[in-house]
């Protein structure tokens, strides 16, 4: 089926349903370059097959905890960039370097998923972070369960919420996009439904039944249209309400007041958090959010906020991904900052969780430094995407 075969990605077909199983359980199904290449080979074949009606993507159930995909394999990117070989110049989009090839091919995959015409169903049963979000957020249907833990935690590793994040985050209501992007907050199923990030909620105990039903629906359908929409609605349930229901809904007013689209700088966001009144002693949203932001890379925070502002003004996912490729290459360089390498060291290599960001404060991150992350890479090194009529179709 594919010339890019890897046991970490298991494509198969059941009747008229294409099935994509992420199979990297030792790393919570983290997305490797081999997996990206396998998907980039398989998906065009399936999209060209008129008999295939839909695709289903889910993670291996052999992980030590439930996981759809815990993110991209940024450790491999770190290893390639932290000790460059003679003559290598990382951070300028040059082909043949992992620090550029991984993102170029991953973003190409994100674009392919966003513009495919056949509905993709992704089962978010467990951890969904970073690169795992990119595999699924642009597909038509995203199914949360009681096990779902969703996050874009990149500002905590000296990067930014990429894989199309600069497209869908600013298109969320109010201050939700800025809040999710900058804080890396972990969201559960009820939060995802509230924000419009997940399309359905299905208890994990019913996922096997759903899989079987999807096969049957694609087998019996004679239409060229969406044959899974009504089926998914028949499985959809409202999450059980508990005392701690949707965090985003509970704190929506504070989120909009402090992270709203009218906030033009990180300094303004932090100031508004300091000024947030507390309704009670238990109301600690402002203090806790300030504490969270203080742990993030100041450069990442400012570049992310600027990327969201620019992404909101771009008309389609292709143009946003091209911008994101320039941004990610900025983080692969060691000047004006090496926060990506420091962040990965602190979180994934030495695991001391004591990153020493440079610059260390928001005030020291200048406008010129932020602008450097958006500079052109030169025609031969830019991200080139095949233009499609559906480029505006990212499904969120």
Contact 170, 203 (CB under 8 A): no
DSSP tag of 201: E
* Catalytic entry in 101, 125, 162, 191: 162
Give backbone dihedrals phi and psi of 186, rounded to 5 degrees, phi first.
Answer: -95, 125
pTM of this prediction?
A: 0.95
Three-class secondary structure of residue 331 per DSSP: helix
* Catalytic entry in 71, 91, 93, 131: 131
- CA gyration radius for the chain? 21
User: What is the rounded CA–CA span in Å between residue 361 and residue 367?
Assistant: 13
Give the torsion sign (CA, 67, 69, 72, 76). Answer: positive
* Catalytic entry in 18, 59, 71, 72: 72
* Catalytic entry in 154, 190, 191, 342: 154
DSSP tag of 240: P
Q: Of 62, 19, 46, which is closest to residue 212 (Cα–Cα)?
A: 19
So what's the pLDDT on residue 392? 52
Provide the residue-wise pLDDT of the chain in tens; the chain has 396 residues. Answer: 446 889 999 999 999 999 999 999 999 999 999 999 999 999 999 999 999 999 999 999 999 999 999 999 999 999 999 988 888 999 999 999 999 999 999 999 999 999 999 999 999 999 999 999 999 999 999 999 999 999 999 999 999 999 999 999 999 999 999 999 999 999 999 999 999 999 999 999 999 999 999 999 999 867 677 999 999 999 999 988 764 589 999 999 999 999 999 999 999 999 999 999 875 556 789 999 999 999 999 999 999 999 999 999 999 999 999 999 999 999 999 877 799 999 999 999 999 999 999 999 999 999 999 999 999 999 999 999 986 655 555 567
Q: Is 154 a catalytic residue?
A: yes
Q: Is 132 a catalytic residue?
A: no
């Amino acid at each position: 089926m594919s010339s890019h075969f890897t046991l970490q990605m298991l494509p198969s077909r059941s009747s008229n349903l294409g099935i994509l199983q992420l199979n990297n359980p030792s790393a919570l199904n983290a997305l490797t370059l081999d997996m990206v290449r396998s998907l980039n080979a398989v998906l065009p074949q399936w999209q060209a097959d008129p008999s295939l009606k839909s695709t289903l993507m889910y993670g291996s159930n052999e992980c030590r905890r439930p996981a759809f995909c815990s993110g991209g394999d940024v450790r491999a990117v770190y290893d390639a960039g932290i000790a460059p070989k003679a003559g290598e110049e990382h951070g300028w989009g040059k082909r043949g370097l992992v620090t550029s090839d991984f993102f170029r091919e991953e973003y190409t995959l994100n674009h392919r998923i966003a513009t495919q015409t056949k509905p993709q169903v992704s089962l978010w049963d467990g951890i969904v972070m970073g690169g795992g979000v990119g595999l699924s957020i642009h597909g038509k249907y995203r199914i949360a369960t009681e096990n779902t833990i969703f996050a874009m935690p990149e500002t905590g590793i000296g990067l930014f919420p990429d894989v199309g994040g600069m497209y869908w985050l600013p298109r969320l209501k109010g201050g939700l996009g800025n809040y999710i992007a900058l804080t890396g907050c972990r969201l559960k199923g009820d939060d995802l439904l509230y924000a419009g990030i997940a399309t359905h909620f299905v208890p994990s105990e019913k996922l096997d039944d759903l899989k079987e039903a999807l096969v049957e629906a694609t087998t019996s359908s004679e239409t060229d249209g969406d044959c899974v929409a009504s089926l998914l609605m028949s499985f959809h349930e409202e999450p059980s309400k508990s005392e701690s229901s949707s965090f985003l809904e509970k704190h929506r007013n504070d989120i909009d007041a402090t992270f709203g689209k009218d906030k033009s700088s990180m300094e303004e966001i932090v100031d508004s958090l300091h000024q947030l009144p507390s309704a009670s002693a238990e109301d600690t949203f402002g203090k806790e959010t300030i504490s969270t932001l203080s742990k993030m890379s100041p450069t990442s925070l400012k570049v992310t906020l600027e990327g969201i502002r620019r992404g909101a003004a771009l008309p389609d996912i292709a143009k946003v991904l091209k911008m994101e490729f320039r941004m990610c290459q900025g983080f692969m360089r060691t000047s004006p900052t090496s926060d990506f390498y420091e962040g990965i060291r602190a979180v994934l290599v030495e695991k001391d969780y004591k990153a020493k960001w440079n610059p260390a404060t928001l005030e020291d991150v200048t406008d010129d430094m932020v602008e450097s992350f958006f500079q052109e890479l030169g025609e031969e090194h830019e991200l080139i995407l095949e233009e499609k009529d559906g480029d505006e179709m990212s499904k969120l």
